[in-house]
């Protein structure tokens, strides 16, 4: 039997968002502004939470963790994309792609579990307000936060090991602006069916578990509101949970469209738009949603901004 020598892929090439120079410059400016606004919004929110003593509570502790994740998520992918748009540096080494993939999946997984923890925190605040300080003490909050990071990292380690232990010996052009699971799997010259099933199974179990915690928490909140039958209770619950519920819907909608589907439904052009929605707009909108719907955060942000203006 004749053997065929197959060269191992040592680097990948990102397919650009546009080959027209004038469009690339426009996209560079647009995405740079979005990235800078995302950084400014989440950093300002972190400063406000850390410096304002009345925001030192479990709810804002988790919100600060969410802002940190929203800083990391676009930082993992956007600078490389901006370099490709402006300088046409579209290549990334195999190890660089592996690290980018691992970091992104870790952040995404951690955020999924963090949103579930935040839903439980809102359940305790609405259904057990008198016991809230004793239940959601800082020790438990720290343990829950560490647990979300540990689960996200272990999940990412499994996904990355399944994807990057495949054989890559053919085309090396990734139909995306970062190293995501579907486009990288599409480049493998070995069978990916069994590994795709494992990835979907693990992601389905972990994602469903976090989703169940979120949904059950809000079911109990709804039942508590109906049991009390008080008009003011609806307003109080909405002010307590409205921001988190909006962020959950935005996050899960973009994540499901990006990851929860088999590879044969993969469409490069559509997925670039969806992934940009998840990777850039969601981290940008999260601090805005919490600022607009939360008077305490809004007041704290105003004080931080005024202090920065005086310092300048």
For 229-248, the pLDDT digits (tens) are: 766 666 666 666 777 778 88
Beta bridge partners of 174: 14
What per-residue confidence (pLDDT) applies to 233?
Answer: 65
Summarised one tens digit per residue, pLDDT across range 248-302 is 887 777 666 665 555 555 555 666 666 776 678 888 888 888 776 667 777 777 7
Residue 296 or residue 38, greater confidence:
38
pTM comes to 0.84
Beta bridge partners of 13: 91, 173
Q: In terms of Cα–Cα distance, which of 149, 145, 136, 180 is closest to 62?
A: 145
Radius of gyration of the chain (CA): 22
The matching CATH number, chosen from 3.40.50.720, 3.30.70.360, 1.20.1070.10, 1.10.10.10, for 19-311 is 1.20.1070.10
Least confident range of 94-103, 216-225, 264-273: 264-273
Q: How far apart are CA 227 and CA 119, in angstroms?
A: 20
Phi, psi dihedral angles at 299 (to 5 degrees): -65, -40
Query: Order of strands across the sheet with 91-93?
Result: 91-93, 11-14, 173-174
Domain segments of the chain: what residues? 19-311
The answer to whether residue 151 scores a pLDDT higher than 90 is yes
Q: Give 2's pLDDT tier (boundaries 50, 70, 90).
A: very low
Q: In terms of Cα–Cα distance, which of 10, 309, 4 is closest to 187?
A: 10
What per-residue confidence (pLDDT) applies to 270?
Answer: 61
What per-residue confidence (pLDDT) applies to 6?
Answer: 43
What per-residue confidence (pLDDT) applies to 245?
Answer: 79
Q: How far apart are CA 36 and CA 101, in angstroms?
A: 22
Residue 169 or residue 293, greater confidence:
169
What per-residue confidence (pLDDT) applies to 3?
Answer: 40
Least confident range of 28-37, 49-58, 93-102, 288-297: 288-297
The answer to whether residue 144 scores a pLDDT higher than 90 is yes
The answer to whether residue 140 scores a pLDDT higher than 90 is yes
Burial class (CB in 10 A: 0-12, 13-18, 19+), 184: buried
Q: How far apart are CA 190 and CA 213, in angstroms?
A: 37
CA dist 294 to 91, 214, 283, Å?
Answer: 43, 20, 17
What per-residue confidence (pLDDT) applies to 158?
Answer: 92
Are 259 and 203 within 8 A, CB to CB? yes
The answer to whether residue 133 scores a pLDDT higher than 70 is yes
pLDDT exceeding 70 applies to what percent of the chain? Answer: 83
Provide the H-helix boundaries in 229-277: 231-259, 268-276
The answer to whether residue 5 scores a pLDDT higher than 50 is no
The answer to whether residue 8 scores a pLDDT higher than 80 is no
Least confident range of 3-17, 36-50, 55-69, 232-246: 3-17
Mean pLDDT of the chain: 82
Q: Give 91's pLDDT tier (boundaries 50, 70, 90).
A: confident
Going by the DSSP 8-state scheme, the letter that residue 170 receives in this structure is S
């Amino acid at each position: 039997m004749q053997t065929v020598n197959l060269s191992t892929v040592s680097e990948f090439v990102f397919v650009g968002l546009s080959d027209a120079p004038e469009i690339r410059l426009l996209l560079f400016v647009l995405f740079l502004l979005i990235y800078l606004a995302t950084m400014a919004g989440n950093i300002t929110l972190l400063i406000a939470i850390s410096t304002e003593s009345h925001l030192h509570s479990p709810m804002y502790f988790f919100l600060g963790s969410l802002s940190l994740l929203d800083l990391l998520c676009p930082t993992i992918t956007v600078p490389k994309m901006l370099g490709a748009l402006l300088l046409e540096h579209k290549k990334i080494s195999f190890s660089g792609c592996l690290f980018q993939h691992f970091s992104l999946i870790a952040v995404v997984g951690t955020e999924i579990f963090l949103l579930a923890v935040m839903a439980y925190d809102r359940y305790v605040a609405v259904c057990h307000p008198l016991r809230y300080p004793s239940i959601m003490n800082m020790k438990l909050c720290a343990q829950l936060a560490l647990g979300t990071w540990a689960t996200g990292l272990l999940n990412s380690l499994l996904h990355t090991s399944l994807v990057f232990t495949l054989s890559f010996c053919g085309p090396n052009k990734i139909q995306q602006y970062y190293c995501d699971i579907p486009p990288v799997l599409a480049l493998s010259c070995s069978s990916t069916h069994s590994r795709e099933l494992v990835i979907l199974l693990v992601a389905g179990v972990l994602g469903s578990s976090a989703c169940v915690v979120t949904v059950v928490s809000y079911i109990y909140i709804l039942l508590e509101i109906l049991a009390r039958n008080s008009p003011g209770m609806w307003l109080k619950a909405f002010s307590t949970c409205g921001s988190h519920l909006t962020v959950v819907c935005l996050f899960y909608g973009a994540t499901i469209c990006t990851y929860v589907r088999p590879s044969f439904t993969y469409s490069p052009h559509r997925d670039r738009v969806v992934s940009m929605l998840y990777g850039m707009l969601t981290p940008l909108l999260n601090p805005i949603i919490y600022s607009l719907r939360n008077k305490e955060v809004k007041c704290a942000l105003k004080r931080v901004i005024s202090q920065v203006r005086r310092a300048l």
